[in-house]
């Protein structure tokens, strides 16, 4: 069955404070949808990493937060998109331990493990989009 989108909220990311606001909005939504504390923490950690990636690597972008329902199962989907430099080698960026910012390079690879679905699209010179989905477990 295709997931229904119950609500959509768009937030800009142009500062570290904006990343905190997005994190807070996603956590509130996850709690409202009945996610347990582990799922909520996993999702908010992923959101912080991807929001920070926009700020650090692209400087500005958007988070689009969607409240989903698949049958009776609540879910949350967040898309992070920017018009920044893009990622030249996605396998390299996803491998874990690789960074162009002299950082740990664990953001993308770690994030993927924290969510149920992870879709990354990126084009050099055009930007990057990362879409994550997490479902409530009963
Ligand atoms: N939105 C983005 N735009 C452009 N490049 C990106 C973006 N997100 C990630 N990258 C590239 O992918 C690499 C890996 O990202 P990842 O988040 O795993 O590590 P990091 O941000 O460098 O370090 P950290 O462990 O602190 O997150 C980055 O170093 C960067 O080169
Ligand atoms: Mg990162």
What's the pLDDT tens digit per position in 9-24? 999 999 999 999 999 9
Q: Is the CB of 108 under 6 A from ligand 1?
A: yes
Q: Which residues make Cβ contacts (< 8 Å) with residue 67, sequence separation at least 6?
A: 5, 6, 7, 8, 29, 33, 74, 75, 76
Domain chopping of the chain, boundaries: 4-135
Q: What would the mean pLDDT of 82-94 be, rounded to a whole number?
A: 98
Is 4-135 in CATH node 2.60.300.12?
A: no
Tokens representing residue 45 in the block: 């950690």
Strands (E), 1-138: 4-13, 61-70, 73-82, 117-123, 127-135
Most ligand 1 atoms within 8 A of CB, residue of 19, 55, 57 to mutate: 57
Q: What percent of the chain has pLDDT over 90?
A: 96
CA distance 128 to 138: 33
The whole-number pLDDT of residue 26 equals 98
Where residue 1 falls among pLDDT bands split at 50, 70, 90?
low
pTM over cut 0.75: yes
Which sign, positive or negative, has the C-alpha torsion 35, 9, 130, 103? negative
Q: Is the CB of 84 under 6 A from ligand 1?
A: yes
């Amino acid at each position: 069955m295709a997931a229904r989108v119950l609500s959509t909220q768009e937030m800009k990311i142009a500062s570290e404070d904006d990343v905190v606001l997005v994190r807070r909005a996603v956590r509130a939504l996850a709690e409202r949808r009945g996610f347990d504390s582990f799922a909520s923490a996993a999702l908010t950690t992923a959101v912080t990493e991807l929001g920070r990636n926009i700020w650090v690597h692209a400087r500005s972008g958007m988070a689009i937060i969607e409240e989903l329902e698949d049958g009776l199962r609540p879910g949350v989907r967040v898309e992070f998109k920017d018009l920044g430099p893009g990622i030249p080698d996605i396998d390299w960026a996803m491998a874990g331990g690789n960074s162009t910012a002299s950082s740990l390079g664990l953001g993308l690879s770690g994030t993927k493990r924290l969510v149920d679905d992870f879709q990354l699209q990126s084009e050099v010179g055009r930007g990057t989009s990362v879409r994550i989905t997490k479902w409530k477990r009963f």
